[in-house]
Amino acid sequence: MPDLVTAGRALAAESARYAGLGWMRGTSGNLSVTLGRDPLRLAVTASGLDKGELTAHDVVEVDAAGEALPGQRLRPSAEAGLHARIAAVAGAGAVVHLHMLAPVIAAERWPDGIELSDLEMLKGFGRAAHDDRVLIPVVPNSQDMKVLGDAFEVGYDPATPALVVARHGVYVWGDDLLTARHRAECLEWLLRFKTTIPGGTP
């Protein structure tokens, strides 16, 4: 497991990458890395900062409830509690919360879940390209992370490392930041395809 500064350096680099793609506009979005599991500890990007300009020190260590450990100068993202819930339930080593447009549009069209199948890019999302039905869960938006966390758990499928929050954004996770990045990039392509083609199929 990385220490806080090492995690902060990696989180700053990933944040700059996503900001450059337009997926963390302004101060929106947040990323986390799991620092330890017993007890659960995460490094989470700090609240209210431009995600394209973070440094290795612009992170906050939080507990299993997403609360900052004592003695830190910055506040964690308001969504740190959901990051911690995903890390606990899914065993994620990293979680990325991004504000891509395609997942939000897809959630408007398919509020009960976004079905994908028979697309080669599904391999990059950790699934089979053919004969594999993938359902990306969609949950209503809430400012209460316990409400969102409970909704996440209800629809959680270990084979589907993503969650769309309606009219908000997407959470994608993996064993590490690189895996989470690759999955997020592939999911964005998949959902952009689905929302672009006539009829929205497959």
Which pTM was predicted? 0.95
- What digits encode the pLDDT tens for the residues 26-69? 899 999 999 999 999 999 999 999 999 999 999 999 999 999 99
CA 107, chain centre distance (Å): 15
Q: Domain holding 29: CATH number?
A: 3.40.225.10
Token couple for 12: 């700053």
Q: Could you please report the per-residue DSSP string of 31-44?
A: EEEEEEETTEEEEE
- What digits encode the pLDDT tens for the residues 79-121? 999 999 999 999 999 999 999 999 999 999 999 999 999 999 9
- Which amino acid belongs to residue 75? R
Q: Cα Rg for the chain, rounded, in angstroms? A: 16
**What local confidence, expressed as pLDDT, does residue 1 receive?**
77
Going 177 to 13 to 23 to 140, the CA torsion angle's sign is positive
Domain span including residue 188:
4-200
- Number of domains comprising the chain: 1
